[in-house]
Amino acid sequence: MLDLSHLPIVDHHAHPLLKPEASGTVVKFQRWFSESTDPIIHAQHVPHNLFFRTGLRWLAELLSCEPTIEAFLAARAQQDYTAWCQRLFKDTNIATLILDYGYTAPEVYSHAEHLTMLPCKVERMLRVEVLAQDLIVQYKTFDQMLEAYVDIVSRARANGYVALKSIIAYRTGLDIVPVAYADAAAAFMPLKEQAQRTGKVRLASKPLCDYLVNLALQEAANQALPFQFHTGFGDRDADLRVANPLHLRGVIEHYPKVPLVLLHAGWPFYRELAHFAAIYANVWLDLSLAIPFATTGIPPMIRDVLGMAPFSKVMFATDAFTMPEIFWLAARWGRWGLGKVLEEFVAENFLSHDDAYAAAAAILGENARQLYWSV
């Protein structure tokens, strides 16, 4: 078996940890093993999904307790939480994290807290829709809002962000088209009224979403800043019919200078995405979320992706969030799936042992290191 445990990971797509109270009870712990937002799924069905059941077995082995949720949570509660986070992170051998703080909760740890808590480098990406929502609340007119938006996005790299990120797949879909200023301005008005009434706003207007993402793509081109797009599955907000990465063809062709990182392998559309990564120099394929959630589907996905896309274009990440266990489990499933497939490639005499090992090093960390820090 190819042992990939000492190859460091650059986890280029993940989310912040939450304080332990967000995962201290049975249902609160279980809910993070599902993309569902439905409490019935969390309470009744997660205990029967493979990701959870296997995760519980592996985690119980770590704490030498019975593989029941009650026994594990009792053993977990005995741990100092920071020490527990550090133990799991050291074991994952994650060298660098790039966090998206755009998905948030009241119990979230701040960036400064992550820097002191975790035994790895922690960097940030900027989620453009969340930024835009804040600015719509803050500014009176569309022009003022736009000026602030462009100002912040244009200085993203200078201000320490290593990537931009869009969740437009969740809002209005990946079929992003050019939009005239007047159409975007007209779409701003009802949102501003909503913001004035309620103090917050959810950006889900297609002309405005498309207009703002196009602006951000231009600013990314000026800074050679990688741009992450959510593609494929997610929670119930993601309509898979418009989350297929094939919809991004126009963007890919229109912004050849922007390194586009298409997230979650576009799952289940990973073959489509592997083809894009093979033919477009500006497309990278990320494996996160599909690892770990696809579990037994991880090796078939990696086999198909690596059969088509150059190894230099494929990147592992966890898309983990909330609690350190998810990072640890994603790293374990990822190394297992990648090791299993590359070992097959060696057994079939497709690759030498050294080739396979170099591919693993690239996918787990080297490709991301080059993309985010050497473009």
Interface ranges with Zn ion (CB under 5 A): 319
Give the shortest CB-15-to-Zn ion separation in angstroms: 6
- The distance of closest approach from Cβ of residue 13 to Zn ion in the complex, given in angstroms and rounded to an integer, is 6
Tell me whether residue 37 or residue 222 sits nearer to Zn ion (CB atom). 37
Whether the CB-CB separation of 327 and 318 falls below 8 Å is answered with yes
Instruction: From 132, 168, 123, 136, select the one nearest 153 (Cα to Cα).
Output: 132
Residue 4: which of 316, 291, 305, 294 has the closest Cα?
A: 316
Which of 333, 338, 297, 299 lies closest to 315 in space, CA to CA? 338
Distance CA 328, CA 330 (A): 6
Among residues 319 and 325, whose Cβ is nearest to Zn ion? 319
Between residues 210 and 319, which has the closer beta carbon with respect to Zn ion?
A: 319
Shortest spacing between CB 288 and Zn ion, in angstroms = 7
User: CB–CB of 21/107 below 8 Å?
Assistant: yes
The residues, ordered by sequence, that sit 6+ positions from 41 with a Cβ below 8 Å of its Cβ are: 34
Least separation in angstroms between residue 85's CB and Zn ion is: 19
Closest to 230 (Cα-Cα) out of 158, 323, 125, 306? 125
Give SS3 for 108.
strand
* 268 CB-near residues (< 8 Å, 6+ apart): 232, 233, 240
Q: Report, in Å, the least distance between residue 173 CB and Zn ion.
A: 17
d(CA 111, CA 1): 37
Q: How far is the CB of 53 from Zn ion (least distance, A)?
A: 24
| Residue of this chain nearest to Zn ion (CB atom) | 319
Q: By C-beta, is 167 or 184 nearer to Zn ion?
A: 167
Cα(11)–Cα(97) distance, rounded to whole angstroms? 5
Smallest distance from Zn ion to CB 100, Å: 6
Tell me how far, at minimum, the Cβ of 351 lies from Zn ion, in Å.
Answer: 31
Per-residue b/e over 323-354, b at no fewer than 16 CB within 10 Å?
A: bbbbbbbbbbbbbbbbbebbeebbeeeebeee
**C-alpha angle 323/327/333, rounded to 5°?**
135
